[in-house]
Structure 1
């Protein structure tokens, strides 16, 4: 069995100061790669901290705008002289660097500039086609060597990413507890499943306040706790549990919606659509009390609760369900998930939404 390594992390407004203590042990030269906005927000501070630690820097380099094989191929010749990769930005930028580092056998360090997914903590990479539709999962047992979380950079980022990140985070708890239902999990899986409550409880407790604090560009305890939930708790659960427990019907629904041109055209974020997928999943699973609690929370902060919120219609569901069931997300589930089951869950949720909207 392959060994999964668990990363350390530094969190706070001065997180980049720890580059000197952590990174030189892995080599002398770092390629700094990320998104354009991420590099504008944090690139100078990261590069200055690396140079102050006596390191050489290649870049900054734009990752290409999509976590695609094409962009990874574009980046390969640019990192030939690098001992390590500094991945800067959100989920797609970090996944691009992550898969590139894993496949070229380089250590890598993540510098999340938004709290939108757990990508900066996990070993799993998600690869897309250039048009934004899902291509494949890149499976690896190698997570980042260290995560540098500058909370002020995240507080200064657009709050929409934290907003969407809370949806993606909550999914981890509900998906892994449903996917593992009826199993007797091994130690690592059991640890991850037990930890998964930390992906939902802090969000429901502090999420509204954290979002308000992010909008005020203020680092607070509530915002820090939610950032840790999104990046660290969820990432560790993903690293602990087997891949069939780390995903489920909520992500299958998300993957389904990636085939709709309206998803990309309206800039719907990963965690935003996953939040909607949780409501569908809990409806399908008959967890109505829990569904209603999450519905209220999602509605209170504007996360999607119906098809119109994700710019979709019932006529889109054939394409959505075909894509949702084409992947691995529900191959391990307490029951066989069918297209009809997903459609019924979505339409039942539509009826519930209509009833709640007239109250």
Structure 2
């Protein structure tokens, strides 16, 4: 078991044993909200960990399948008597619980059962429409009170979540360094930007081995390092830097691709599509050497490098890029970003595929 601060986290196969040391200070009544598979993996382990303590679970609820306002409204009456919320699962389940906790002024604790995004560490929530398209970012300065990272549960989760998580994690480094390029960052921003190297270097170093370990359901040092990079390093960067540095062109492209029915129909994961957006971003930014390094890594583990890999076509690009620029992701950037610039970046990337 490893423990740390800001926000506090406990990591290891025995991480849940720390619940009774952390949570009773916030009250007694607990509501657990999560995904169906996540609850199946973690609920009994949580309940066993709090046996004999002052904590009482007064309800366990499925989050509804989408991080939507509608599902948050559905859950609001269910948490009326809770002192604290336990958010269990992946990004959308945790964001549902997180935004609900923010809006009801309750402490919340996260229990990631997959390593796919930094949702369980960051204060930022992402809200979607019921059809899976992006609705808005939910801004708050309140991260989870503590994160309980059971590496055994994550090692036994489907490897594709770790695979996609590595793509999302690398984006944090490239996005915040590009977005802040023309600025003189304040102290907190500068801290986050400096830390962001921990979102790319470990992935490129240990990512392939960590995938093999996850496929074999082994908790290893390499897998633990990648889990911490995905969940903690990225989340800390997000919590340190202002919102315009915590996102960028890779996430703008992801938001654009959410409008395509093929994205949802083919179950493309957030980080999977973001990893493709990194390549577009580095191409547009003319960081060709770094782009080729990331592309080689993507190819080594099967992350997307071309439109066909995410079931998109060149004719989709006008609508995709219009949606990409409709949000806030590139409003602070070293240069104005246009639709044609994004389209040209994608097509240049297409032209170098082998």
TM norm structure 1: 0.97
Contact 1:67 1:92 in 2 (8 A): yes
The equivalent of 1:11 in structure 2 is 11
Looking at structure 2, the residues matched to 15 and 252 of structure 1 have their Cα atoms a distance apart, in angstroms, of 35
1:240 aligns with 2:240: yes
The equivalent of 2:148 in structure 1 is 148
Contact 1:180 1:333 in 2 (8 A): yes
Looking at structure 2, the residues matched to 61 and 132 of structure 1 have their Cα atoms a distance apart, in angstroms, of 20
After superposition, the C-alpha distances for 1:157-214 in whole angstroms (9 at most, x for unaligned) are 0000000000000000000000000211000000000000000000000000000000
1:123 aligns with 2:119: no
1:158-177 to structure 2, matched below 5 A, reads 158-177=158-177
The equivalent of 2:299 in structure 1 is 299
The equivalent of 2:273 in structure 1 is 273
The equivalent of 2:338 in structure 1 is 338
The equivalent of 1:94 in structure 2 is 94
The structural deviation recorded for 1:137 is 0.3
Give the match's secondary structure for 2:58.
strand
Structure 2: which 5+ runs fail to align?
none
Looking at structure 2, the residues matched to 331 and 85 of structure 1 have their Cα atoms a distance apart, in angstroms, of 34
The equivalent of 2:181 in structure 1 is 181
The equivalent of 2:261 in structure 1 is 261
After superposition, the C-alpha distances for 1:101-139 in whole angstroms (9 at most, x for unaligned) are 011000000000000000000000000000000000000
Looking at structure 1, the residues matched to 59 and 48 of structure 2 have their Cα atoms a distance apart, in angstroms, of 12
Which runs of at least 4 in structure 1 moved beyond 4 Å after TM superposition? Answer: none
Contact 1:206 1:222 in 2 (8 A): yes
The structural deviation recorded for 1:49 is 1.6
Looking at structure 1, the residues matched to 251 and 61 of structure 2 have their Cα atoms a distance apart, in angstroms, of 30
The equivalent of 1:113 in structure 2 is 113
Contact 1:19 1:53 in 2 (8 A): no
Instruction: Indicate the larger mover: 48-57 or 193-202.
Output: 48-57
Give the match's secondary structure for 2:321.
helix
Looking at structure 2, the residues matched to 104 and 55 of structure 1 have their Cα atoms a distance apart, in angstroms, of 20
The equivalent of 2:204 in structure 1 is 204
Give the match's secondary structure for 1:52.
coil
Looking at structure 1, the residues matched to 51 and 26 of structure 2 have their Cα atoms a distance apart, in angstroms, of 15
Give the match's secondary structure for 1:126.
strand
Looking at structure 2, the residues matched to 243 and 169 of structure 1 have their Cα atoms a distance apart, in angstroms, of 16
Looking at structure 1, the residues matched to 58 and 130 of structure 2 have their Cα atoms a distance apart, in angstroms, of 25
Looking at structure 2, the residues matched to 276 and 211 of structure 1 have their Cα atoms a distance apart, in angstroms, of 18
Looking at structure 2, the residues matched to 256 and 38 of structure 1 have their Cα atoms a distance apart, in angstroms, of 28
Looking at structure 2, the residues matched to 19 and 166 of structure 1 have their Cα atoms a distance apart, in angstroms, of 27
Give the match's secondary structure for 1:87.
strand
Looking at structure 2, the residues matched to 84 and 152 of structure 1 have their Cα atoms a distance apart, in angstroms, of 25
The equivalent of 1:215 in structure 2 is 215
Looking at structure 1, the residues matched to 37 and 323 of structure 2 have their Cα atoms a distance apart, in angstroms, of 31
Looking at structure 2, the residues matched to 58 and 285 of structure 1 have their Cα atoms a distance apart, in angstroms, of 51
The structural deviation recorded for 1:60 is 1.8
The equivalent of 1:229 in structure 2 is 229
The equivalent of 1:74 in structure 2 is 74
Q: For the aligned residues, what is the CA RMSD?
A: 0.8
